[in-house]
Structure formats: structure tokens, C-alpha cells
Amino acid sequence: MPPLQDQHDKDQPLVAQPAEADFAALQEINPLAASPADPMDLEPSLPQSLPKLSDIDAILTPPAAGLAVEASMVHRWDITNWKSIRSTKKSYSPEFVFNGSKWRILLFPNGNNNTDALSVFLDSIDAAEHGSDDTWHLCIQFAIAISNPDDDEVYKHN
């Protein structure tokens, strides 16, 4: 950077002026330095809209590469008594069967050791029944989504 001028107006702040080559280098590093003078000339990037929760195929992650899909299903647990569940440490959904195995959803309405969160898990009931069998296993891929019951465009999924 060039040296500061020795003579300057004492009422004005002392500012170093970059050489023209320095300004060109700044433009290469920061493309915004070469942006239009009027910010309204820039095209805004609009957020992409998310699919509705009812559009399951648009939300689900494709199956893992190289694995065949033997079965698929959607299980919905409608929670109608959120206030009473919110006052418990944990809650289980009713059991459901998928591809011959028993499952339930485990919900920690006040988080699992984090009161500012909602924690949700898929719980295998069969795992407890096969606890001592080293060869028992299941290979599954699943997704969990939480939604506003009044508007299926408001949801969070993993």
C-alpha cells in the first residue's frame, strides 16, 4: 500500500488511498466490488419451495446405493393431546408392524437431556426380544418428520 500523504487537512480523517492496481486486485478477490452501482439491479435469488409433507415421494431420501427395497410404508402418529405429552419425560406411540417387525416411536417432548429440543427416535420392539441373539439384525432406512397438524407445509424432517 502506498505511504500516507504527509500533508492533509486536520479536519478530515487520514485515509490511505490504494493504487489503481490494488483496486483491480481487490475486484478479483471480491467480485462484489465490481457489482452494479445500484443494488436494485441485482437479481434476487428466491428460496426454493419445499414439498408438502403429504408428498412423501418428494421428501424421502432415495434408498442407499446397491440395496434392494423389500418393503416400504408410511406410519403416521397423530398427537392430539400435546399438552399432556409435553408434561411427561417421554412418550411412546402405539405399536405398529412393518415387514414383520414391531416398532414404535419414542418421543422426548422436552428433549433428551436438552430441554430446548424435541427428540424423536424409532424404537425396535423386536430388538429387546432378541437381545441375547448375536446374529439378529435388521437393515432399514427411515425418515422422521414432525409437522404442524393444521398446515402440512410447516414441517421438519431428517
The total domain count for the chain is: 1
24 within some domain = no
103 within some domain = yes
In this predicted model, which residue has the larger pLDDT, 102 or 22? 102
Burial readout 119-147 (b: 16 or more C-beta within 10 A, e: otherwise): ebeeeeeeeeeeeeeeeeeeeeeeeebeb
Q: Region 14-35: what's the mean pLDDT?
A: 46
3 within some domain = no
99 within some domain = yes
- Say if residue 148's pLDDT is above 50: yes
Q: Which tens digit of pLDDT belongs to each residue from 65-87?
A: 888 888 888 888 888 888 898 88
Q: Which tens digit of pLDDT belongs to each residue from 96-131?
A: 999 899 999 999 999 888 778 889 999 999 988 887
39 within some domain = no
pLDDT at 96: 94
What domain range includes position 61? 56-157
- Say if residue 95's pLDDT is above 90: yes
33 within some domain = no
What share of the chain in percent tops pLDDT 70? 66
45 within some domain = no
**What is the pTM (predicted TM-score) of this model?**
0.60
pLDDT at 43: 58
What is the 3-state secondary structure of the chain?
A: CCCCCCCCCCCCCCCCCCCHHHHHHHHHHCHHHHCCCCHHHCCCCCCCCCCCCCCHHHHCCCCCCCCCCCCCCCCCCCCCCHHHHHCCCCEECCCEEECCEEEEEEEECCCCCCCCCCEEEEEEHHHHHCCCCCCCCCCCCCCCEEEECCEEEEEEEC
Q: Region 24-39: what's the mean pLDDT?
A: 48
The three three-digit cell numbers of residue 58, written as one number: 418428494
pLDDT at 92: 95
49 within some domain = no
